Chain A
Amino acid sequence: MTAKALVIAGYGLNCEEETALAFGHVGFDARIVHINDLAESPGQLENIQTLCVPGGFSYGDDTGSGNAFAQKMRLTLSDHLKEFIARDTLTIGICNGCQVVVNLGLAPAIDDQYGERTVAVTHNLTARYQCRWVDVAVQDTHSPWLDGIESMHIPVAHGEGRFMMEETILQTLKDKNQIALRYTKPDGQAAKNEFPFNPNGSTDDIAGITDPSGRVLTLMPHPERGMFTSQRDDYTTLKENARRAGQSLPDTSDGMALFQNAARYFETANIKKTA
């Protein structure tokens, strides 16, 4: 049985097509579902293994990015989402989806307190939209999404990507290995809040966090914009080098690994039992 991925759309989310394509590419039965249709028949989540809130600009980022969309999901889907996460499923929030997931309190959900809002993803320190390629290092995490990945060269594109939280929350995230990704310099050294390596001033260079189980991953960079080699900012160099070496370039790039991990997770898990 093919695992199913549901990618949410509507109200200004805008990365649903390429994100669904990523899931499809690695073997998922991927479908795009408008939030109003999902709210109308939330039961469909019972047959889904992977839920994705993709990137975009829901409600124009008004009242804080992801805030209004999270409220819409909270009011219409709250219990269903908790049930979904309680099953052996995967959830990912990317960029605007990350902001939605954090505002919904689905991550970090410290001590499984799903629904509690303890982390904010807010205005970049530059107060300006940043569309750039960054390097992120995978941290000591037990997230199946990041299994076997050490680092990724993928882009960010956001105006509000700065993770902020109280010191105690930060310490807890560290202690419980819920920090999934940190921005680094291209050589892998810590960005140490240096712009543009850390493009938004995020606390402790955080680019993504998980829930306690690691099955919910929420991240600001866009793996789906760095999943094919031709999307990379150094593509023309890579292809020229490959041509001269008489080699062919791999079709896929760093970001795809994340989706492949999701597919692998369900190949090894018993879907019938979880669904």
Chain B
Amino acid sequence: MAQRIDVFTFAEDGRAKTLEASLARLGHKATIKLIDSYTLEQDIDSPADLEAVQKSFVNPVTQTTDLSNLPKFSWALEIGFLPGVTDNLGHTASELTELTLNQKQAVYSAQVILIDGNMSESDIKDFAATLHNPLIQRASYKSATDFANDNGMGVVVPKVMLDNKGAAVDEVDLEISDDALEQIGKDGIENADGSRRGPLGMSLLYMKALQDYFKSEGRKPKDIEIETLAQTWSEHCKHTIFASPIDEVKDGIYKHYIKRATQEIRAAKGKDDFCISVFSDNSGGIIFDDEWMITDKVETHNSPSALDPFGGAITGIVGVNRDCVGFGKGAKPILNRYGFCLADPRTDPELYRGKNKTNRMLSPETIMKGVVNGVNHGGNQSGIPTPQGFLYFDDRYVGKPLVFAGTVGLIPREVGGKPSHEKGARPGDKILMVGGKVGRDGIHGATFSSVALDEGSPATAVQIGDPITQKKFSDALVKEIRDLDLYTAISDNGAGGLSSSVGEMGEASGGFHVELEKVPLKYPGMQPWEIWISESQERMTLAVPPENVARIQEILSKRGCESWEIGTFTDSGRAQITWQGETIMDMAMDFLHDGLPETPLTTTFTRGGEPEPDLPEPDYKETILKLLGSLNICSKEFVSYQYDYNVQGSAVIGPLQGPGKVGGDASVSRPVLGNPRGVVLSQGLFPRYSDIDTYHMAQASLDMAVRAAVAAGCPIDHLAILDNFCWCSSDEPERLGQLKRACEAIYEQAKIYGTPFISGKDSMFNDFKGYDANDNPVKISIPPTLLVSAIGVIPHVDQAVSIDPKAVNDLVYILNETKNECGASEYYALHGHLGNNVPETNVEGCMALYKALTEANSKRLCASAIPVSYGGIGTALAKMCIASGLGMNVNLDQDMPLDQKLFSETTGRVIVTVDPKDQEAFESIFAKAGVPCTQIATVMTDPFLRIDHFEVGLEDMNTAYRAPLKGY
């Protein structure tokens, strides 16, 4: 029997107030009270024990377990989890029960919302629909009468009950027709009842390679072997598109452009090379100082976030935290980054994944709130500051939002007298799995994110992270065990689960043998293949010399963490798995990792764009206010204020700058307290430029990332970058042509800037395939998006520069020239135009500026600096005014129409304010460097941005800037 403990909050409750506000937005006036409910799987018989447990769930000042005096209500609405969904609250309640009674049992959480208001049953249904995601949660409701008659909501135990017919490993016949092979690749292995196990994401070419291999082995493959190969060879894990020969580029675009750029930059830098570990590990690592290294990695978590925005985003951020903990011997996460590409949350297009109006796409607002909340929970609970990030809006992200999550780590350059980035499992090392148990979570996650999202996308791909479980083992590993030098290698369990982590770690030793029955399960009944590829979160894999296993497990146990020895790394050259002694997988390591056939790709490219529009002279005041109030320019402070940016005490320049709290494009942190050196983070992306030419899109993105960092005080010679390509329809030559052009562009540019790529990740099929309101098939592809993130080291944080002007009468300069480049700009977008004059980056000219600005910053000559970005000079100056609360008197050269001058998005420009006393010193640096440096304004007390013949009031600008997302 199960038993329910209800905790009623009688005191005023902020959570209830917020729900009342959402009801009010739906047009209902109601009063809400909340019951937090805990269902214990087994009854507690002793009344004293029961009381003790009840007491442990309650804050007596505000709550009670006595429901006999509930206030009047008309409806009770309960939201709980579906079986198998991670329930962190239930998990803590279970731990509390164990603490109190010293006995373990499962506890499931739910919340009951008591609503007192004049609402019909259908109103309650509608409200319930806004509060839960049916993929992971259940909702039920009762009238007050029914609630009273039934004595509450009833007991629901969302326990996973699998058809427990025992573990079975099936052989799969591959000696079948090509069509049948293709179907296995697309829909999965067939079950006995004719159903399919879910997409493998394998092309016919891959399936034929499997067919050949197992023919040579003289046997039929087991299901687990096919699933393993599908994971290992997935686009998600092997980045097959970046690795494949493409046109004349036989070594593939990753090696030819990205990796080669880094190799050539490192060679050119010689003794000034600051890279330590690039592309070979879970993150990239660069020198921080003589003692420390910093690491960085940015991941995407797009497909899961479309289905469950909260779960997708929290899993994204805690997942990339593990890429940090899994770097080298284990780096400590010190900074988080985030980025969301979304559709306008104020719209709600009717889109369905299924025919006949089934499986409706979540609304842009639901997705935005969910992903923002996911990173909130994951980042805040992990105690990792999140100072850096962005929101970018384009309606083509409606079916596939992009969720970027990144983590910067800190690790001593040496651990145990050896370089900390060197690791490798050795034959005989034990395989130790650390963290949580395995469930059916995320089965087919890796293969699923490698295909377009459509009706068949599996719900089991959805997972929810558990940041506290991860925090516990992360601290134990990085703050204690690492420095004892007890393990030889560490990696995280992400996409593909054990099949990926063990498979990759086994490359170093030359093989592995996993005893799969030793892997602990959340619930019985899982099949071996599921256990092996499950993506259950919060797990790391360690390679541990046998003599150290007990010691590591003892420390982990003292820190409240679980771990399990599940096998041995070998040098057999084979990837072997046994189940209760019986061999169920035995493949050559070579085939596993290198057996995937090459797929030569060919490309085409056509420049996009439309004729330049002939716009009439605008109302400048109105245009500036409209631009400030456009989604890509307006304030995203509702996100910044809910992300803890100053935990760890390291913040120097946070996400909101100046007394006016304006979002910046870079942040500065001091990760080693007492050490004056800082880390500078920034990013750039211009997806809309792809509509004209991905070459210039890519260069603008990279330039912006670098420029924002240098403007914030980072020297150009200690700055590295990360690439995240999020593309669409990457099986079409035209899309591949766009991709190749983007890579060509950034290869050249990174070399000239001397900014090596240190890590990257791609996501190639961000397309939505479904149906519109009239049941017509639709395909919505995201604009090809390249996010470039930058990470640099500043020698002293006292040379950090924020975007807010500091003093009246300071001189305002624009560095570099403005060209007529309004193509794909926010200005044109305001008028519904695309145009053709997309900004073309003058890479050499930019580099000259960055060198000069580095010198100016080293002399502390810039009082403030802002990179010119979306919306051009006009919005940059406006942001400076809002940030400082000061005005500006602007005089621009009349060498082009004023609207072009103000709103062109020419790259490579920075606006700087300078103390008049420093005028000569400042100007001479740029004169010497041959960088255009033009004084365009002075800072004034009058609260206006005064330009030419018009002026805009500071208060108006402030209001416009904060308006669009204020309600969130």
Contact = CB atoms under 8 A, between A and B. Distances in A.
A237 B648 contact: no
A166 B61 CA distance: 8
Nearest to B90: A62
Contact of A130 (B96, B642, B658): B642
Chain B CB within 10 A, most for which of A17, A61, A129: A129
Given A123-B13, A128-B642, A36 B89 contact: no
B95 A201 contact: no
B797 A62 contact: no
Contact of B807 (A12, A157, A244): A244
Interface string A223-246: 011011011011111011101100
A30 B649 CA distance: 17
A131 B646 contact: yes
B897 interface: no
Contact of A9 (B88, B475, B648, B801): B475
Given A37-B558, A122-B11, A129-B380, A71 B56 contact: yes
A56 B654 contact: no
Given A60-B92, A119-B61, A230-B798, A129 B468 contact: no
A224 B649 contact: yes
B911 to A, nearest CB: 16
A103 B58 CA distance: 10
B14 A123 contact: yes
Contact of B61 (A9, A37, A117, A228): A117
Contacts of B95: 59, 68
B670 interface: yes
B806 A240 contact: yes
Contacts of B645: 131
Contact of A201 (B14, B649, B863): B14
Contact of B802 (A157, A230, A236): A236
Contacts of B644: 129, 131, 157
Q: Is the interface of A mostly helix, strand, loop or mixed?
A: mixed
A185 interface: no
B860 interface: yes
A45 interface: no
Interface in B636-652: 640-649, 651-652
Contact of B96 (A21, A63, A231, A240): A63
Interface in A59-85: 59-64, 67-68, 71-72, 75
B589 to A, nearest CB: 39
Given A130-B642, A236-B804, A164 B88 contact: no
Interface string B242-277: 000000000000000000000000000000000000
B607 interface: no
B891 interface: no
A124 interface: yes
B647 A234 contact: no
What class of interface size applies to chain B in its complex with A?
Answer: 35 or more
Interface residues of A, number: 69
A267 interface: no
A34 interface: yes
Nearest to B796: A230
A225 B383 contact: no
A127 interface: yes
A107 B804 CA distance: 42
A193 interface: no
Given A57-B468, A127-B15, A228-B649, 15 more contacts: A12-B471, A21-B649, A57-B382, A57-B383, A59-B96, A67-B59, A117-B60, A123-B14, A131-B641, A157-B644, A164-B62, A200-B14, A224-B649, A231-B652, A236-B657
Given A10-B559, A127-B17, A57 B649 contact: no
Which among B56, B472, B674 has the greatest number of chain A C-beta atoms within 10 A? B56
Nearest to A65: B59
Nearest to A126: B14
A120 B61 CA distance: 6
B59 A122 contact: yes
Given A164-B61, A236-B804, A36 B798 contact: no
B343 interface: no
B130 to A, nearest CB: 15
A227 to B, nearest CB: 7
Contacts of B57: 63, 67
State the main secondary structure of chain B at its contact with A.
mixed
B801 A236 contact: yes
Contacts of A227: 649
- Central interface residue in A34, A122, A234, by most chain B CB within 10 Å: A122
Interface in A2-27: 9-12, 14-15, 17-18, 21
Contacts of B654: 233
Contacts, number: 191
B336 to A, nearest CB: 13
Interface in A125-163: 125-132, 155, 157, 159, 162
B812 to A, nearest CB: 15
B211 interface: no
Nearest to A120: B61
Query: Lowest 5 A-B CB distances belong to which pairs?
Result: A14-B383, A62-B92, A18-B649, A120-B61, A127-B18
A55 interface: yes
18 contacts: A10-B475, A21-B649, A56-B383, A59-B92, A63-B56, A63-B57, A64-B59, A117-B60, A119-B61, A120-B11, A131-B641, A164-B11, A164-B62, A225-B647, A227-B649, A231-B651, A234-B659, A236-B653
A36 B560 contact: yes
Contacts of A271: none
A190 interface: no
Interface of B: 11-15, 17-18, 36, 56-57, 59-63, 88-89, 91-93, 95-96, 99-100, 376, 380-383, 467-468, 471-472, 475, 558-560, 640-649, 651-654, 656-659, 670, 673-674, 797-798, 800-802, 804, 806-807, 860, 863-864, 915, 917
A239 B863 contact: no
Interface of A: 9-12, 14-15, 17-18, 21, 34, 36-37, 55-64, 67-68, 71-72, 75, 103, 117-120, 122-132, 155, 157, 159, 162, 164-166, 200-201, 222, 224-225, 227-228, 230-231, 233-237, 239-241, 243-244
Nearest to A59: B92
Nearest to B645: A131
A67 B463 CA distance: 26
Contacts of B657: 236
B806 A241 contact: yes
B559 A244 contact: no
Given A57-B468, A60-B381, A71-B100, A123 B61 contact: no
A127 B648 contact: no
Contacts of B651: 225, 231
Given A37-B558, A57-B468, A127-B14, A132 B93 contact: no
B551 to A, nearest CB: 16
B59 A10 contact: no
A230 B652 contact: yes
Nearest to B9: A122
A164 to B, nearest CB: 6
A72 B60 CA distance: 17
Q: Most A CB atoms within 10 A — which of B57, B649, B806?
A: B649
Contact of B647 (A14, A63, A124, A230): A14
A34 B802 CA distance: 38
Contacts of B802: 236
Nearest to B13: A123
Contacts of A9: 475
A60 B88 contact: yes
Given A34-B559, A123-B13, A157-B646, A243 B860 contact: yes
Given A21-B673, A122-B13, A68 B96 contact: yes
A162 B14 contact: yes
Select the residue from B15, B63, B558, B644 with max chain A CB neighbours within 10 A: B644
Contacts of A231: 646, 649, 651-652
A129 B798 CA distance: 30
Nearest to A196: B641
